Chains A and B, each alone.
Chain A
């Protein structure tokens, strides 16, 4: 497969491009985007992705509800977001055009599968006239390609049935875009070889891919190809990682670092299920996974495993957090190490199962009956999920407490290049099991007190079944401080409530203090947590380039809050808090520190764009601050 045709003109070098693939749920757009991402990663670009797909597995074909999109931002420099407006939009049908055309930048390149712009498909989504003909797309550079028929022509000679032939059209699109952006073809060839068992499907996809590539090269439709040079990234070995895979690997690593077997109890729920899948694939690490009968059982199994001496974990999304609440409260009372991982999505209730939101901070912080504080860790990027999982496990094991780890659909499914960490530098998070008596009874005999606390951490001992002599019972009833015997006395209960709170509050001494990114002497501080990191990073960089002074503090620990957070925030007259909710962290810092923090809200099932936060910064420094409490970015 040598390239026999000379390029019309050399590829134009550009520093970054945002490409969005959009089609029907059945068109394979996620796969196409993922392959384009992988070959870009291997080429050495920095990148960030945003998969955007419907909750229905197969929504009615050709409808706007069934549109599945994948956006990828590739760059020759360090980037953190999947880009605001795409520069290139590939649409496979009229529904995809209708759903996504509004996102394309003015003057952007629109590549259309012309074969689908026929009356039946147009009327299905309510186009009265063909947008390819009525002039409505005059603000874009439109390239019409008969992708379906070209794919059929390329594959039918191989023996593929007409009916099946068009299914390879996503590979045609991938080939065309691969040429347009000078991507190497070898990674995709290799991937097709390894992915498809059926020889006919393999050759059809390869043929469609090559046909698309050659079409781009030979056709007059494109003036020339583009080249995004490899990014000047730190030297080292990289992999392309999504947040859910990073999180699963972080959990496996945590088990290795703690020298504890990993036990996952989980019930399938979008967008968390990939963690269950990935851990189930890695049984050779001694990882036990049980797909439980429900969310409650999943949490119960993890807690039981923790009692038995494993690193007990349960993974879920918002509705599952609600169901697990009672079990987490029991874990608070039993003071056993356990992880609850919440991959947040749009809610309430089933809400937007495949879209992102970060509105579970309240339930993580307060969603248990009675006084039941626990530590909360939040991941801020796909690769950070790896380290956040280890940190959550470290805290859980050291303080014998359930820990909630928050991620969200955006970083869970989004991906980025990850400079692999040196495994030898990962922290040692081992904690010893208790194997000896720890108390002398009045009669002089040695005994075991399950609630005799460590003076420094206030954690109780972890003596697991099988340990001679240390048999003990724990339960949800209030326990006597020290002995752990049932105790309903008023003074003891008050003491225990305060001890449990003090234990969690004390973790503030054991987590990093916040540091300010940007200008210490700014008037405005932007306070972030979780996946807003990428958009804040880009917005802060752009605003500072324009001469604005901005300070940025990003939290990875939300409970307890870092010890210096209040003092830092009080240095700034204005604090804005961008969140994919209506201001949950904002309310907490106002209550905790009496600072004039204002919420920047977005609840569209989508992450912030950098432009939105740049605008929010502009608004906050303008006269609006005095009159508008909610500086909403999306209004």
Chain B
């Protein structure tokens, strides 16, 4: 089974997410650019996603709003840079609760043997921006696990 890997290096304002999907890259690309498909998967199931605009072209704007069960709404918007294609989708990303803190996201899709490896690189303006984004963006139930600590320690020892 495929697993989402997230890398956040200390001291570097980036997050890299990789994930393999059992589908051709054209389809994975479509799931990222067709708003009717995007609403069906982006975000956890208990958050409703409403897409306000999604102009998939060079210079096109996008905006969507996440709403939780309590009715709290969180808006996000940005602009596509360059013509989005299965080679790359480059866009800015800004949480409307923190205007001016803009993240640049670049997603690439590599197909091999009918599967697609997606790699998303998010570049933030500062490490603080990145940390705040991760800390505030997903205020959901936390399962603490000693496993993760063990993994981190193992990684620390390997480096």
Q: Do the two chains belong together in a single complex?
A: no
